[in-house]
A = this chain, B = another copy of it.
Amino acid sequence: MALPRLLVRGLAWPGCGRALHRAASASAPAAPDFNSFVTRTNTCGELRSAHVGQEVTLYGWIQYQRQGLFLVLRDFQGLTQIIIPQDEAHSHVKKLLSDAPVESVVRVTGIVSLRPPGQENLKMSTGDIEVKVETAEILNSCKKLPFEIKDFIKKTEALRMQYRYLDLRSFQLQYNLRLRSQIVMRMREYLCNLHACACSSGFVDVETPTLFKRTPGGAKEFLVPSREAGKFYSLPQSPQQFKQLLMVGGLDRYFQVARCYRDEGSRPDRQPEFTQIDIEMSFVDRAGIQRLIEGLLQYSWPEERGSITTPFPSMTYEEALADYGTDKPDTRFGMKIVDISDFLRRSDIQFVQNALSYPHGTVKAICIPQGVEGGVSKQLRAVLSCWLELNYDITVSLGIPLILAQSRYLKNKDLESLKESAKSQFNQEIMEIICRPDGSLKSLLTKFLGEKQQSELIQALNMQVDDVVLLAAGEYKQVCSALGSLRLESADLLEAAGLVLRDPTVFHFLWVVDFPLFLPKEENPTELESAHHPFTAPHPSDTSLLYSDPTKVRSQHYDLVLNGNEVGGGSIRIHRAEQQRFVLEKVLKEDSEVLSHLLEALEFGAPPHGGIALGLDRLISLIVDAPSIRDVIAFPKSFKGRDLMGNAPDYVTSEELEPYHIQVSWPLAEKEAKNPLT
């Protein structure tokens, strides 16, 4: 989050950005003011020169205190400089405030005064004034802190989480949580109030149960033992079944800011509980859902993050795989994957011929420009080109090997690590081609290529001087995936070298559509599993294929991608019982008994319906450019699923387990080593 971070680094607590007051602009009949219900007259971010002469009462935390002369008082809204009286009559107040440790909570009452000329602080919204204290009270003292409450103070993640309530006082977390609250409120306004006719609000906010039962394949669902022996509730991964049942129930338009649960053990940047904006509509098609979501995001988008343009571009799954090697392309920069099979088909390169002899064989490549293509601006490229040329001369004249100069941003070791990564992650060999300053190609392949082939290749890949091409031959999906991964790794390397390839203030939304409905199971490729979930409807053009060749059926699933991250997904659902039963029983070979209630519901006049869910934590973290979703969650768990502040999960006594008819099966080693319940 470039802007706020910069602001925070200065002395000023910046109050809040523009986005933070938009919610206040809603029509507010006789709105009570912000200091209602409490005895303060003002917040610490509020006072200006217009308040000079007023007596005010502020409550806040001592951010800083200097030699008994002044202190800086902080609340959620800002900072105010407080002048400690030095006269005898106020000696009590002076002692009180001088002795109070930093981060103690105080009440001060005093008179707003202009700061002496020249002492104004332009970086502080209250920088024109100071408050001359008359009376003060220490409401609660603070013991020695484990870390300073300043954003620029580095502290370990574990320490931050252990003292989360202290970390929450930082500007960054206050900002993130407040912005999150406001974005969600704007989304609610859009869904509840805007899509309304004269008679009834459009979307109904319906709360669905979180104590349910296992869904088929719900291996990632937490269990909750019930008081009935052997019976367990399950915490669902989404309200999927309930929202479909609401459509069968005629609710027409449902939404919920839904808490969901997923037990994945230890995975980085995942949380065992998370939140999604969950939406379902009757009588809708894919385009309807897409327009709804575009409107929703545009309406709730924070002003200070710029504006977003709708409709969002759309891409099929096949295109995404072919051009970006992934189903969640980051379209903020180029370096797209290019198919060069046809250029090399007539070459004598053995591994290329080998790859192309297989039915799904292909040869593809990405061209890594010297950091400018797909980057910020042409001006910058011009500047960089000059600089590179200059550098090139220097390196040559100094006898530094040419490769270093050619790959100013991508070093030799970078290339090696890229190739290594493709090998280890995808078992994919990578060949590089470098475009020399004279325009000729440097590669192990060049000797197999004629001049015409070389120039065709340069043209196809749009190679410029110094560009590096990574080439892969092999099975189609493997080649695409490997190059897609290298594309992102290269971008990381280029940015680590100082290029701005993915501007954090730019937001590229993208719809990815036409996914396959089924995929071969990883553990047994002759069997099929749902690419998303078994309720996804087949693409209308492919319905008949469902019964003849289900592997070829595209689905009506759609993903919403933001800057290369999946931030949402949904589908038009199957609404006919016989089709749903066929998918479950004949294609997926699952026991449909566990879904009998849903199958039966579809038989009682279920309307055609579809929906979507947006991953709120991820979306907000991208909007505020937070490094982790933990930075947009008030009390996140560690990557091992632990609450480091409250120490959850924790041991319970066997008496507490009794009503639930369960007992712990201690792993043998542990059982012998200790009895943790004593």
Contacts and interface: CB of A to CB of B under 8 A. Distances in A.
A197 B43 contact: yes
A205 B184 contact: yes
Nearest to A647: B213
Contacts of A24: 193, 196-198, 200-201
A97 to B, nearest CB: 14
Contacts of A15: 199-200
Given A38-B281, A59-B282, A208-B635, 11 more contacts: A21-B198, A26-B27, A36-B195, A38-B284, A76-B251, A140-B602, A178-B201, A209-B637, A211-B649, A226-B649, A242-B634
Given A34-B196, A38-B281, A140-B606, A272 B635 contact: no
Interface in A621-678: 633-635, 637, 641, 643, 645-652, 656-657, 660-667, 670, 676-677
25 contacts: A15-B200, A23-B193, A24-B193, A33-B197, A37-B289, A37-B292, A38-B281, A59-B282, A143-B604, A165-B248, A177-B251, A178-B204, A181-B205, A181-B206, A182-B192, A210-B273, A211-B222, A211-B273, A222-B233, A224-B235, A227-B265, A230-B651, A232-B651, A233-B648, A241-B646
A494 to B, nearest CB: 37
Contact of A16 (B39, B200, B229): B200
Contacts of A104: 605
A166 B648 contact: no
Interface residues of A, number: 156
A448 B641 CA distance: 74
A246 interface: yes
Contacts of A26: 26-27, 189, 193
Contacts of A241: 646
A164 B673 CA distance: 51
A263 B659 CA distance: 10
Contacts of A664: 229-230, 661-662
A196 B21 CA distance: 8
Nearest to A671: B229
Contacts of A652: 214, 223, 232
10 closest Cβ pairs, A-B complex? A168-B249, A142-B605, A34-B197, A37-B288, A213-B648, A24-B196, A231-B649, A226-B649, A181-B205, A165-B248
A145 interface: yes
A342 interface: no
B200 A178 contact: yes
A498 interface: no
